[in-house]
Amino acid sequence: MPRVKVKKEVAKNALSLSEDIRFGTPELVADYRAERLQCKVIADLGCGVGFQTIAFAKTCQKVFAAEKDQRKLEYAQKNAELAGLKNIEFMHGDVVDQAIVKRLAECEIVFCDTERPLEEKRSLERISPNPVKLVEAYSQITSKMAIEYVFPSRSMTGGVKFL
């Protein structure tokens, strides 16, 4: 089945580099996910520059946004400020680090759009953070997880499981 291309809408004045836009979540998709995953408290793991985080903040009471790349995290914080959102708690670090996992104990749902390197053949081990490690780390908090991963091969499929 061919993949549908969605025009990437970026909020006016949003801080981002062309790379961030290329790998960021289109606004239409972010809004759809936010409606489907609406809850009181959600974690956006690997939040990037915050496009998905901002959508979650419009449908959830509280959003935890974690990112290991300091520049992206700073952009996400500024983008949330530009959007006038105050219900997001940002944190820097590796999302499978137990210190971050413990800080997210009140989350009802954990969401992660994994980082996938550009390569012809992808493997589970090269996806970051590793989905298996995510499930192991966060299953102590909730069974409600949505993890996006995409394999280009037709023999392997991935995607988001909506709860």
CA quadruple 57, 31, 146, 14: dihedral positive or negative? Answer: negative
Fold of domain 18-148: Rossmann fold (3.40.50)
H-type alpha helices, 66-154 = 70-82, 98-103, 131-138
CA quadruple 111, 114, 24, 8: dihedral positive or negative? Answer: negative
Structure tokens of 142? 């909730």
| CA angle (45, 50, 52) in 5-degree steps | 75
Q: 8-42 burial string, b = 16+ CB within 10 Å, else e?
A: eebeeebbbeeebeeebbbbebbbebbeebebebb
Percentage of the chain exceeding pLDDT 70? 72
Give the predicted TM-score (pTM) of the model: 0.81
Q: For position 161, what pLDDT does the model report? A: 47
Q: List, for residues 2-30, the tens digit of each pLDDT value.
A: 444 444 454 556 755 666 556 677 889 99
* Domain residue limits, the chain: 18-148
The stretches in the chain having pLDDT less than 50 are 1-8, 10, 153-158, 160-163
